[in-house]
Structure 1
């Protein structure tokens, strides 16, 4: 099968290579890939930015989002059958959706929403699971609470706005002014033009921040939260608690303790709960998200769809930061 892979950590392009079609393990389904979502995580893994917390063996096929059709099932698989249309965010160390086929554990797979195309479905898993785990699991976001979602027009932001609105929160977000109409339609209440306005001067007494930006923005975000508020960062720095969750080696725990020390101390002084989220695969959560999609609560926002042959161009476009919503690769 055709695949886009790397043989070593690199800032260069992915290589198009022929590799064997995987076989479904006892608890796996083999999926013929129709479409694959592209994420900044793919770029960060490619360059080795996450090799300390997520070391991969080479060669490595990248890609963390998939929508397609089940063509083979393992002997222990109970939920799926051949011909089912599914989507998934494969588990870490089992990624590889920039290819024509992938075998995934059935626990990480969900039935594709009936009202979405394959391209639309491929735009959902990673960002929607990230948002679910941040807002539902970690933040326990409640009706009438106030949440600041950074970069509302990005892949995570467009889904986070919709889920936060469904949960009954008041939402502030940052974007360029040309994205304001889109973000209003997705649920944003307070719109801040990051080019001309300072969110720290506008927002105060917020309950939750979803941080996806740099350390400077993270530190400023602490100042808009009320005491007892929560800040969940998907862009770092990782914490000792996260190191424990992934059972990292002792030296990684020490490194993460040091790199997050400043932000943790400042958060503690302000009586704010700081946590780092590196989302995990979860088919059951994805099935809950499917229900919200099928009743119209959440809809994917897609910027561009690239043909499979242009996977490198798709990744470069995501890296540029210009995408409004998600970027998808079409295989079929």
Structure 2
């Protein structure tokens, strides 16, 4: 394992200008861990929000907000060191995967990860393409499970997907298409073709058609766009629907504003008021990212098949602040850091 060992880190919460390149100590794997020389790591919206302080109360309780804070969950790279009891990987293996929220994330030249959360890279995809997948794939699969969506339950039935043209939405479209669902995608008009290419049966322009004007016919709904639309989406369920999941719920924000106990109480009340709009028996879930070994294993099978209409905007590690601005300004393409270009 050779250096230099660098990381894009912040010393305090704030704007993108807080992200600076600095040296990191040579990483050492513990039991069951590996060190990965990072070839590519994605910058997701959660990274820019965490940088600004979002979720700091909960992440502090998890030990995931210590300064200097290195953000990032996704990675693709090469194993350069192996800890005790790791038998599935060895030095030189090319891998990709996801790391749980921590203070030592993947926006670095080297990262220590649980070997169980690293997969061998499949053929036919670049490190940048692979690094764009795990966080979103894992979040989407948790959302589908939370809404009660399985292949058997949803085949041939209508699903409404709000926020269909983002990183989560495009993966959800491909997975739902594979399950045989008939998906109506809600997105900006300029993203219509991308949604159709990813598997949508039809696309609703969110700028032209209000959600409340849509028919009340859906077996499930997913919200990857705006918490304020949750109640409206629930009113579009048909009797006997499966359920709804949202990734844009107010839980972390409420904890930040009110503290742990008051924040949990406020979140419970908000959740309770919204679920009154669901038909009896339907499920309702607030989805949070959490790496899962089984879900990652399914990603290894899905990755070559996703074929998403996705462009990459790449940045060296010393331009990580620019990558954050790229995400915040909703510029075209997935922001991907290529740390090895900085070394």
* 1:42 maps onto 2:47 in alignment: yes
* 1:280 maps onto 2:294 in alignment: no
Contact 2:161 2:222 in 1 (8 A): yes
Contact 2:71 2:102 in 1 (8 A): no
Please name the residue that 2:97 is paired with.
88
- Map 1:97-112; keep pairs closer than 5 Å: 97-112=106-121
Segments of 4+ in structure 1 off by > 6 A?
none
Normalized against structure 1, the TM-score is what?
0.90
* From 207, 222, 236, the counterpart of 1:224: 236
Please name the residue that 1:119 is paired with.
128
Contact 1:110 1:283 in 2 (8 A): no
Q: Distance in 1 between matches of 2:309 and 2:298?
A: 15
* Partner SS, residue 37 of structure 2: strand
Please name the residue that 1:151 is paired with.
163
* Structure 2: segments with no counterpart, 5+ residues: none
Q: CA deviation at 1:8?
A: 1.8
Q: CA deviation at 1:256?
A: 2.1
* Partner SS, residue 113 of structure 1: coil
Question: 1:331–1:161: structure 2 CA closer, same or farther, 3 Å change rule?
Answer: same
Question: 1:288–1:300: structure 2 CA closer, same or farther, 3 Å change rule?
Answer: farther
* 1:317 maps onto 2:330 in alignment: no
Q: Distance in 2 between matches of 1:31 and 1:115?
A: 20
* Partner SS, residue 314 of structure 2: strand
Question: 1:137–1:83: structure 2 CA closer, same or farther, 3 Å change rule?
Answer: farther
Q: Distance in 2 between matches of 1:190 and 1:300?
A: 16
* Partner SS, residue 34 of structure 2: strand
Contact 1:237 1:256 in 2 (8 A): no
Q: Distance in 2 between matches of 1:45 and 1:155?
A: 18
* 1:331 maps onto 2:323 in alignment: no
Q: CA deviation at 1:319?
A: 1.1
* From 38, 51, 55, the counterpart of 2:56: 51
Please name the residue that 1:246 is paired with.
none
Q: Distance in 1 between matches of 2:286 and 2:296?
A: 21
Q: Distance in 2 between matches of 1:53 and 1:225?
A: 32
Query: Root-mean-square deviation (CA), in Å?
Result: 2.2
Please name the residue that 1:259 is paired with.
267
Contact 1:293 1:299 in 2 (8 A): no
Q: Distance in 1 between matches of 2:313 and 2:221?
A: 28
Please name the residue that 1:10 is paired with.
14
* Structure 1: segments with no counterpart, 5+ residues: 244-250
| 1:3-59 deviation digits (Å, cap 9, x = unpaired) | 111112223421211111211111101000000111011012111111122221111
Contact 2:161 2:185 in 1 (8 A): yes
